[in-house]
């Protein structure tokens, strides 16, 4: 049996978060935890009980947006190379280029297809292994 891929899903919209968690849960090889904000994600990452293999991160959130959260994740010890995948409706070419330049592993455009989210996330995570 293979070790599940652990994904931390971060989105301020409870409906999007619920759909993403359910969609990722369709893949028995993915284990998901959710956070409602960038600061809540940092609490999970600073904890000792669960370490994700990747973060699925909303770009547009109040308070700490996705880019600020990504910078904070990179500043945490041991998370410099953690794959971070942005989810966003802001997907012009220059936006996508900017996200990658700032260290995003990839981008999933909203609205995403729930039936393919797990395979899209898995492909991005495995491309970094």
What are the residue ranges spanned by the domains of the chain? 5-127
* DSSP H or E stretch at residue 117: helix 114-127
pLDDT the model gives residue 72: 97
| Res 129 pLDDT > 90 | no
Distances from the Cα of 39 to the Cα of 24, 33, 117, 126, angstroms: 22, 14, 24, 26
| Res 1 pLDDT > 80 | no
Asked if 69 and 38 touch (Cβ cutoff 8 Å), the reply is yes
pLDDT, tens only, 32-83:
999 999 999 999 999 988 999 999 999 999 999 999 999 999 999 899 999 9
Distance CA 67, CA 44 (A): 18
CATH level 2 (architecture), domain 5-127:
3-Layer(aba) Sandwich (3.40)
pLDDT, tens only, 56-70:
999 999 999 999 999
Q: Residue 52 in 3-state DSSP?
A: coil
Exposed / middle / buried, residue 50 (Cβ in 10 Å: 0-12, 13-18, 19+): exposed
pLDDT the model gives residue 93: 92
pTM of the predicted structure, to 2 decimals: 0.94
């Amino acid at each position: 049996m293979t070790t599940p891929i652990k994904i931390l899903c971060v989105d301020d919209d409870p409906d999007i978060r619920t759909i993403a968690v359910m969609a990722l849960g369709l893949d028995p090889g993915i284990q998901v935890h959710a956070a409602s904000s960038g600061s809540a994600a940092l609490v999970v990452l600073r904890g000792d009980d669960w370490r994700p293999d990747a973060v699925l991160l909303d770009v547009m959130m109040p308070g700490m947006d996705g880019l600020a959260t990504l910078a904070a994740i990179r500043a945490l010890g041991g998370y410099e190379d953690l794959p971070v995948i942005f989810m966003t409706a802001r997907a012009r070419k220059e936006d996508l280029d900017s996200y990658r330049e700032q260290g995003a592993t990839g981008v999933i455009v909203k609205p995403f297809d729930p039936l393919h989210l797990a395979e899209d996330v898995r492909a991005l995570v495995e491309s970094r292994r």
